[in-house]
Chain A
Amino acid sequence: MSRRAALAAVCVLLANAAAADAPADPTLDELLNLLAARRHGHVTFTEAHEMAMLKEPLQSSGELSYDAPDRLEKRTLKPRPEVLLLEHGVLTMQRGHRQHVVTLADTPQLVPFVESIRATLAGDRAALEHYFTVGCDGNLAHWTLHLVPKEASVARSVQEVRISGERDAIREVEIRQSDGDRSRLTIGPEVTP
């Protein structure tokens, strides 16, 4: 399927969703199947980090791209360029000339920040449930996933990842840290190739 065709399909889906009456409570399976059907996405994002020690939130923005099932790239453009690439379970972080490569398996503390999004986009229920206790509310048109880290060392710093979206598109990722700080990543318009 070409990218254009995929986009068209998504638009049709979205239009259908808006037109239809609110369906009954979606099961997690239904939602994940819907998400899994989408193979590719490339969007802009803005992110705001609220930290107690800062007088105003830290703003950043960039692009997010996803290729099913396991490639997720978060490219921050402002305020400083930084690339975060998750591919086959290997996380590459690049800032300036400094490059840092770790595997997800070795660094569970990074799971809430990247794997949560990747697994949701991939509709990868097994991965989600491996790392998180998964809760779901809303309906297919407007849903929210509540991901609570299972591993104690991760749970100490991250309280919950809240991912909300419409149909097969993520709209917002909010990460609540245990100390009250939080970050909110908002998905912007699609980047046209």
Chain B
Amino acid sequence: MTRPALAATVAFIGLAAAAALLAARTHYTTDLSAFLPRTPSASQRVLIEQLREGPAARLIIAALGGGDAATRAHVSAALAQGLRTDPRFAAVSNGDAPGLQADREFLFRHRYLLSEAVTPQRFTASGLHEAIAGSLAALAAPEGLLLKELFVQDPTGELLAIVDALGPERAPRTNAGVWSSRDGTLALLVLQTRAAGADTDAQQAACEAVRQAFARARDTLPAAQRSALTLRLTGPPVFAVDARVLIKHEVMRLSMLGAVLITVLLLFVYRSLPALLLGLVPVASGALAGIAAVALGFGAVHGITLGFGVTLIGEAVDYSIYLFVQRGPDWRHTVWPTIRLGVLTSIVGFAALLPSDFQGLAQLGLYSIAGLTAAALVTRFVLPHWLPAGFAIRDLRAAGAALQQALARLRTARVLLWGVPLLAGTVLYLHRGALLNHELAALSPVSVPDQEFDERLRADLGAADVRYMVVAPAPTREAALSAAQSLTARLAPLVESGVIGGVEAASRYLPSAATQRARQESLPERAVLEERLRAAVEGLPVSPERLQPFVEAIAAARAAPLLTRADLEGTSFAAVTDALLVQDARGFSALLPVAAVASGDLTEGAVAAVRRVVTAGSESAVLLNLKGETDQLYSSYLAQAIRLSLAGFAAIVVLLGITLRSAARVARVLTPLALAVVAVAGLLVAAGATLTILHLIGMLLIVAVGSNYALFFDRSSAGDDGTPVALTLVSLLVANLATVLAFGVLAFSRVPVLSDLGATVAPGAALALFFCALLSQPPPPAASAGRVA
């Protein structure tokens, strides 16, 4: 080995080892972090907090199907019992008695601290009379049966007052004593995990725990009934876990499939195993360098980024194809400069993605830049040294000659190209109102049937997605609770008048200490109470002696310690309170989800009314539209992607202008690429797609990849080198096939992010080459055939 060869090899091995080490030690994620902004605004921060930690992100719905209602109820109860002791779950609700019991007991025990009706006036003789008469009327109603046993302890009806204040309950249907779907065919459980929604590992463990508990619960059935019973989980944690599995699976499968297809292609073209193996060296080096760069730059590599890795195979493999097929004695000075310019255009294009707020895109940009640079450098400086002495691939000159003839015929059909912008332009113009997809959901890997199943169960459970939420920041927990309290009090008239369905707040279960103290001080001391009570029951069919338990309860409540978060433990209110009172770096935030009257969205009028109430106060609270905020976030990504793609395109134009020093040549290079982009956009829209951010990035990639083809055609027509044109054509066709294969595989992914990209680039790259060929100039006579080496 020569000295430069040795140096190149040693440097390669050293760098590859370092990159491999980095890649092996980095952290791989598949959560939604890729879709979150890097520098969020204040309201985005709340949104992200909700997406990562919020109650909605921790909610798993378990649906039991099959068997009869009684069997499902039995398993539901057993499953709930098993999970209630599992520390991974903060709350397990299935509507069965043991679950409701703890909640009822909590509300009843602390009724004098929790009831908004507790005021000094209520415990005067006339206040007591009024309250007791009301409770007696309730006793006469059918539901009085349930209240009867509480009456002597709670004759003023505080428990009912609390339950009333919780708003119209949207209790799910019950069937055989447990919650069920509206059609009665599924028993439903609602599980709140303790771990954050963003902690996919923990969520996976939680899902696994549910499945195991289900298997155990099912085993309590007679053997004959077991097999009929099924479990289906849904909810954000389930989706996150499924998405991770799907992404892992797809990335593996697609990379493998792409690699196999390209291997077959190259074997067919080269007819040489060494050429094949050597050809894969730049690709592998590029992938390794890309991962290492992202690991260094972002601290973690997103699974989606690995999926994009396929794109790298698509382009990096081209370099070795150009090397092997167009190899000549002076390769370094004839072919390499064109490849170098092609690599530079790609890098400039990808560099436009680096400043993106959309982390997934920024990672893709860095990954591609590092990967392509590494692949190109290896092709230029390492690979030539490794070619064995007698290295040869199949003789492709005949194929080249055939291609040349085909090319000559193609050029005569050039006029047809006018149809491309016309047709594509017409399609795009007809769909001009709905070209872009502004919903983040468009990128969700969750299938539509799964999303619909989830929505259906949520509607059945009355747990529709929270769209609107009032957020009140405060320095302390106490201040946040008082803010929540005054907000709920001011929003109460809107609930009463039916403008909004209800509002939820942590202060309902954990009032501020000041409020609790005020309520406690409203309770009269024993002697006073006994005297007032005697006056109060005048004319009512109840004797004061009977109400002795009430007197005792008031005496106990006066002396009881104030409620703290710890008292909520064991009830379903603990999880609710934690979800609605969140602590962050700057203090606390009270969250108040606002529900619509019917299922669905708040009307515009209702939103305006709530906003007026919220801004009228001194809490510096804001009304947040979560869905709107999410879509707005995505829309801003989309707008940014358009800006960045255009900037990338502009940078490519500048680069070509500097290098080619001729406006005509730049135009010649760019025209087929622009046509390819327009044609693909037209095809996608005609096929019914609305364009997402990944389609746009795909278009940038068409320009980046296609520029290689255009540059080679430009070079051959300029006749400024001695490369055989025929072999250039072969190498371009092979490189193009490799790219189309790599992206074509991606197009069949079930992960929309990947399939959008594949469906754009695969046809785009093919069209780019085709248009380049159509528009290519015939070589000048001096440089024409016969110069085959």
Contacts and interface: CB of A to CB of B under 8 A. Distances in A.
Interface string B171-193: 00111000000000000000000
A82 to B, nearest CB: 6
Nearest to B497: A97
Most buried by B among A47, A49, A84, A157: A49
Interface in A83-142: 84, 93, 95, 97-100, 103, 105-106, 109-110, 113-114
A80 interface: yes
Contact of B141 (A51, A95, A105): A95
B542 A95 contact: no
Interface stretch (A2-10, A17-25, A29-37, A56-64): A56-64
A181 B145 CA distance: 10
B140 A54 contact: no
A79 interface: yes
Size category of the binding interface on chain B: 20 to 34
A164 interface: no
Contacts of A55: 541-543, 546
Interface residues of A, number: 33
A151 to B, nearest CB: 11
Contacts of A106: 173-175
A159 interface: no
Contact of A114 (B139, B142, B168): B142
Contacts of A57: 541
A79 B133 contact: yes
A53 interface: yes
A166 B144 CA distance: 29
B136 interface: yes
B141 A56 contact: no
Contacts of B403: none
A44 interface: no
Nearest to B164: A98
A51 B139 contact: yes
Given A53-B151, A55-B541, A109 B140 contact: no
A84 B142 contact: yes
Contacts of B142: 84, 93, 110, 113-114
A93 B143 contact: yes
B137 interface: yes
B148 A51 contact: yes
Most buried by B among A58, A97, A114, A181: A58
Contacts of B152: 53
Contacts of A82: 137, 141
Nearest to A102: B171
Interface in A36-80: 47, 49, 51, 53-58, 60, 76, 79-80
Contacts of B137: 60, 79-80, 82, 95
Contact of B140 (A47, A110, A158): A47
Given A53-B151, A55-B542, A109 B145 contact: yes
A157 B145 contact: yes
B504 to A, nearest CB: 18
B541 A181 contact: no
A98 B495 CA distance: 12
A110 B133 contact: no
A102 to B, nearest CB: 8
Given A53-B542, A57-B541, A177-B145, A99 B140 contact: no
A7 to B, nearest CB: 30
B617 interface: no
A80 B134 contact: yes
A58 B540 CA distance: 9
B138 interface: yes
B148 A60 contact: no
Interface in B125-165: 133-134, 136-146, 148, 151-152, 164
Contacts of B175: 105-106
B141 A54 contact: no
A58 B143 contact: no
Nearest to B547: A53
Nearest to B498: A97
Interface string B542-556: 110010000000000
A49 B173 CA distance: 31
B541 A93 contact: no
A90 B168 CA distance: 16
Contact of A76 (B134, B140, B143, B546): B140
Contacts of B542: 53-55
B496 interface: yes
B164 to A, nearest CB: 6
Contacts of A60: 137, 140
23 contacts: A49-B139, A53-B148, A53-B152, A54-B541, A55-B541, A55-B546, A56-B541, A57-B541, A58-B136, A58-B140, A80-B133, A80-B137, A82-B141, A84-B141, A84-B142, A93-B141, A95-B137, A95-B141, A97-B496, A99-B168, A106-B173, A158-B145, A183-B140
Given A79-B136, A98-B164, 9 more contacts: A58-B136, A60-B140, A76-B140, A84-B141, A84-B142, A95-B141, A106-B174, A110-B142, A113-B142
Interface of A: 47, 49, 51, 53-58, 60, 76, 79-80, 82, 84, 93, 95, 97-100, 103, 105-106, 109-110, 113-114, 157-158, 177, 181, 183
Interface of B: 133-134, 136-146, 148, 151-152, 164, 168, 173-175, 496, 541-543, 546
